[in-house]
Structure 1
Amino acid sequence: MNRFSTPLLALCLTATTLVAQAQGGLGRAILEGLGSITLSDAQVAEYSRQGVQQMDAQSPVAGPNDPYTQRLNRIVARHHTISGIPVNYKVYLVKDVNAFAAGDGSVRVFKGLMDIMTDGELIAVIGHEMGHVVNHDTRDAMKSGLRRAAIRDGLASTNGALGRLSRSQLAGIADGLYGAKFSRQQETEADDYSYKFLKSHGYSVLALATSFEKLAKLGGGNTLEVLSSHPDSQKRAARVRDRARRDGLR
């Protein structure tokens, strides 16, 4: 099955490429190491913008008159800004059940996800994805990726080898970053952000629970990467339902 790059993969590729162009060997390692510590929200947004721009160029993006685009635009018409972040939306005409939000406010929803989710469930998923951005999970993941790149480059420089990282090295760094899933706590906090987002805008919070329940039934490879990174979607759905019951929102 074809898998499209995750946002973090694109972000890491873009950030590392920019660093590689600036310095070689140990100097590049030091620069990357510092970047992993001091990476600002503005830098994350810029790297995100460039990374998503690259992904859009390589992906089958639904046109403005496509029914999927029109449906998504209708769903998100009230949400051009989320927690002060300007958001732009596109649909990838890919069968995978997936979606992501990047640090610049780019939200990309896959056709496969739209095919199985209601409008309310899609808003819940978008809220979860944006929760990772608002909570700085995306920034922290990029820092981790740059830190690993610095270590890798530092080791390579001991033999005097200089120059840019090869395409395969860049891919290896990106794969390493992609392998570091969001933690259980980060996922829970993103769930909580989505719950509050739904509640504050008058949506049914139970849409978050039903989205988890649908994902739990899917199994296999075609699952939403972020929401299914822990095998407890049913427990997460139950947690949402319990909270809704306490809030009188059943």
Structure 2
Amino acid sequence: MKRIASIIFLFFWVPAVSMAQNGGLVEAGKAALAAATLTNSQVASYSKQAVQQMDAKYPIAGPGDPYTQRLNRIVSRHRTVGGIPINYKVYKTRDVNAFATADGSVRVFQGLMDIMTDQEILAVIGHEIGHVVNKDSHDAMKSALWRTAGINALASTSGAVGRLSRSQLSGVADYLLGAKHSRDQETEADDYSYQFLKRNGYSVIPLATSFEKLAKQGGGGQVPQFLSTHPNSQARAARIRSRARSEGLGR
């Protein structure tokens, strides 16, 4: 996560030229301060708004849809994870993707469900929830908000969280969908999923096979969206298998 000094530099220096033309230096200062002091509750609120924007963009499987029913079976024991209430939905699109946001929203794409077993899907969900529990999703949301022109909406005198405009929400949502985490964050999310599976009595091997399937998806030309934000899938699968062998949990 960037240091506050760096944040303030970016928001005072980079936007200053254009903002100065409109007498906007004060607003730039408010924007920098707001971005630097975002609370977890504010981040969760904006995450919820961004997810609502994405839910409006993608077709959602209804309650009676086979994909929804399958996902509900997979996650039936895991409506709250790490003390965070989780809400799940399936996007009826063939993109190979999944994500979780700081408000506890988990979205799984039909394309991912089509290529994975139930336990592999649960392993992927465990990984994405790991990003939420580890606060990676909070950092991604903050980065997304810093990139919006309307970040100064946060600097209200009442301290209440305002609502972003539709265009601003769209920018935040698109950024979140393609947000890339650091290598260390990905490793920590892998470890969270591994422990999540182990703690709940599941095999840990599907975490490895899910990455192996994603690596194969990327070998045919166009890299799936999910794989593009989760690089080095083969190496990560090998690491998981090695750990499982050392703990007597797999071959």
- How many angstroms apart in 1 are the aligned matches of 2:197 and 2:216? 23
Task: Tell me the TM-score normalized by structure 1.
Answer: 0.77
Q: 1:79 offset after TM fit, Å?
A: 0.5
1:112-165 deviations in Å (ceiling 9; x for gaps): 000000000000000011111111111112323344447x99xxxxxxxxxxx9
Task: Tell me the TM-score normalized by structure 2.
Answer: 0.76
Partner SS state of residue 111, structure 2:
helix
Q: What code does the residue aligned with 2:182 have?
A: S
The match for 1:77 is: 76
Alignment of structure 1 residues 222-237 onto 2, 5 Å: 223-225=224-226, 227-237=227-237
Alignment of structure 1 residues 102-117 onto 2, 5 Å: 102-117=101-116
The match for 2:241 is: 241
Give unmatched runs, 5+ long, in structure 1.
1-23, 154-164
1:57-102 deviations in Å (ceiling 9; x for gaps): 2221001000000000010000110100000111110000111111
Change (3 A) 1:183 1:224: same
Alignment of structure 1 residues 112-191 onto 2, 5 Å: 112-149=111-148, 181-191=180-190
The match for 2:100 is: 101
The match for 1:16 is: none
Q: What code does the residue aligned with 1:76 have?
A: V
8 Å Cα contact 2:179-2:229 kept in structure 1: no
The match for 1:214 is: 213
- How many angstroms apart in 1 are the aligned matches of 2:118 and 2:125? 11
- How many angstroms apart in 2 are the aligned matches of 1:136 and 1:199? 22
Partner SS state of residue 79, structure 1:
coil
The match for 1:52 is: 51
- Tell me which moved more, 216-225 or 184-193: 216-225
Q: 1:176 offset after TM fit, Å?
A: 6.8
Q: 1:247 offset after TM fit, Å?
A: 1.1
Q: What code does the residue aligned with 1:243 have?
A: R
Change (3 A) 1:167 1:127: closer
The match for 1:36 is: 35
Aligned length: 215
Q: What code does the residue aligned with 1:63 have?
A: G
Give unmatched runs, 5+ long, in structure 2.
1-22, 153-163
- How many angstroms apart in 2 are the aligned matches of 1:29 and 1:89? 37
Change (3 A) 1:71 1:169: closer
Share of identical aligned residues, percent?
69
1:215-248 deviations in Å (ceiling 9; x for gaps): 01011435242x5435411110000001111111
Partner SS state of residue 121, structure 2:
helix
4+ runs of 1 displaced by more than 6 Å?
A: 165-179
- How many angstroms apart in 2 are the aligned matches of 1:92 and 1:137? 23
8 Å Cα contact 2:61-2:91 kept in structure 1: yes
- Tell me which moved more, 118-127 or 44-53: 44-53
The match for 2:62 is: 63
**RMSD of aligned Cα (Å):** 2.8
- How many angstroms apart in 2 are the aligned matches of 1:64 and 1:177? 26
- Tell me which moved more, 123-132 or 215-224: 215-224
